[in-house]
Amino acid sequence: MLRNIALAAGALTIMGFMSLPAQADLKLCNQTESRVGAALGYKDKQGWVTEGWWTVEPQKCVTFLKGPLIARFYYVFAVDYDKGGSWGGNSMMCTRDRVFTIRGIENCEARGYRKTGFFEVDTKEETDWTVSLSGEKTTQGQ
C-alpha cells in the first residue's frame, strides 16, 4: 500500500514537470571575448520594426524577445565594442546610435536614421531560437 502511494506520488510529480510551459524566446549569445552591441529586426502584425541596442557581455546571453516566436525570419546586426568590427548582412534596415525602436525599413536616411545591413536568421518556424555570435565578422575592427 505504501509502495503504491509512493509510486502514484512519483508519477504525479513527473506529470507536473511535463506540464510546465516550454521556454520559448529569441536569444542572442555572445561567444566572443568582447562586449557586443546588438540590434534586432523583424516583421510583426504592424509591419517591420528594428530595435536596439542590447549590450551583451562576453560569454553571456540576452533575450531579444520573450515568448513563442511569431515569424520564421529575424534579422540581427551586432557591433564589437572592444575590438571593432561588426556582424551584418544584406538585409537593409534602419538603426541609430542610441537606444531605438523604429517602425518601417524604408527611407532610413530621409527619416534621420542610418541604413544598416542585418544578417538573416532562419528559425525554421521553431518557437524558441538562440543566435550565437562568434567567428569572423563581416567588417573588421580598426
- Reported as a single tens digit per residue, the pLDDT across 97-140 is 999 999 999 999 999 999 999 999 999 988 889 999 987 788 76
> Residue 133 in contact with residue 31, Cβ under 8 Å?
yes
- Reported as a single tens digit per residue, the pLDDT across 71-89 is 899 999 999 999 999 999 9
Single pTM value for the model: 0.80
Ramachandran bin of 28, using left for φ above 0, alpha for ψ from -120 to 50, beta for the remaining angles: beta
- Tell the residue number behind the cell numbers 545591413, with chain if given: 117
Q: Which three cell numbers stand for residue 64?
A: 531579444
Report the chain's mean pLDDT, rounded to a whole number.
85
Nearest to 72 by CA among 5, 10, 126, 13: 126
CA angle 130, 93, 44 (to 5 degrees): 60
